[in-house]
Amino acid sequence: MNSVIGIILILSYLVSLVFLPQATAQTHKIRVALYVDRGASGPAKKNFRNVLDMGDDLRYDPIYGDDIGRGALKNYDVLIVPGGNASRDAFTLGSDAREEVRRFVKQGGIYMGICAGAYLASRSNDDFIGMLPMKTLDPKHWYRVDEGTRVDLELTPTGMDVFGLKSREISIVYENGPIFAPLTDDKLIPLGYFRSEVVGRGGERGVMLGAPAMVMSRYGQGIVLVISPHPEKTPGYKRMILHALNWLYDHRTDGN
């Protein structure tokens, strides 16, 4: 009898090994909406698709302004707004869709904005979504470079954690992303600062140095993460986007 029981236990163990991967595969995948409407540039959309294709623990769909206006964000965990033109983003979205984005994040959603998407989340223009109380420095000379160029950043300890990096000093492609003014609201958490600069024609030197390059904040029950430069198109740093998405998802209910 003991031998029979032993055989049954061994068989049960083997069955559990066979079905364990299947159970693991059924865990929730992060649902990402990638904004692809007018305002988002073609290269930016392509770069983000390439990065998101590397993520095994997420699925993503393209989303348009009309979709957002009709409430489609309720089907997603994250909205990503890539680089392009923030003013065109705001116009294409319209007031109803912009309010839907605010509602989505207030109710626990995650917003990730890169370059133009970072501008869009700020209050540097009255027509932007304005979830973060942040404005830009020297907006008259916002156009600083014709093509992407690398700039040096220094991450904060929190930034290293969010992006899964071991080094504080990194170099990332920059393409005229926002140069935010010093942070004055305690809810705004700096993740990295510019340690080198690009000066536009007629611009003043020193404006970019020390400015926050990556910022995170609670907004209602959700989280907003804005990044001025472009890790998604920088060789060696693309996966920091995927790490940040997982970090944000895992911490979305902290403090709520």
- Of 43, 34, 24, 141, nearest to 84 by C-alpha is 43
Structure confidence at residue 118 (pLDDT)? 98
- CATH of span 29-250: 3.40.50.880
Mean predicted lDDT score pLDDT of the chain: 90
CA angle 178, 231, 124 (to 5 degrees): 15
Question: Global pTM?
Answer: 0.89
pLDDT given at position 35: 98
Cα separation, 68 vs 112, in Å, equals 15
- Answer for the pair 132, 215: CB distance below 8 angstroms, yes or no: yes
* Distance between CA atoms of residues 177 and 44, nearest Å: 13
Q: Residue 253: what pLDDT? A: 83
Length of the chain: 256
Give the per-residue pLDDT at 3: 54
The tens digit of pLDDT for each residue in 21-42 reads: 433 344 789 999 999 999 999 9
Identify the pLDDT of residue 255.
67
* pLDDT at residue number 252: 87
Give the per-residue pLDDT at 28.
Answer: 81
By the 8 A CB rule, do 64 and 96 touch?
no
pLDDT of res. 256: 65
Per-residue pLDDT tens digits for 125-176: 999 999 999 999 999 999 999 989 999 999 999 999 999 999 999 999 999 9
Spell out a b/e string for 40-51, using b for 16 or more CB atoms within 10 Å of the CB, else e. bbeebbebbeeb
Give me 23's structure tokens: 């159970």
* Under-50 pLDDT residues of the chain: 1, 4-26
How far apart CA 190 and CA 67 sit, in angstroms, is 32
Q: What whole-number percentage of the chain has pLDDT above 90? A: 86
Between CA 241 and CA 76 the distance in angstroms is 17
| Interatomic CA distance for residues 86 and 119, integer angstroms | 6
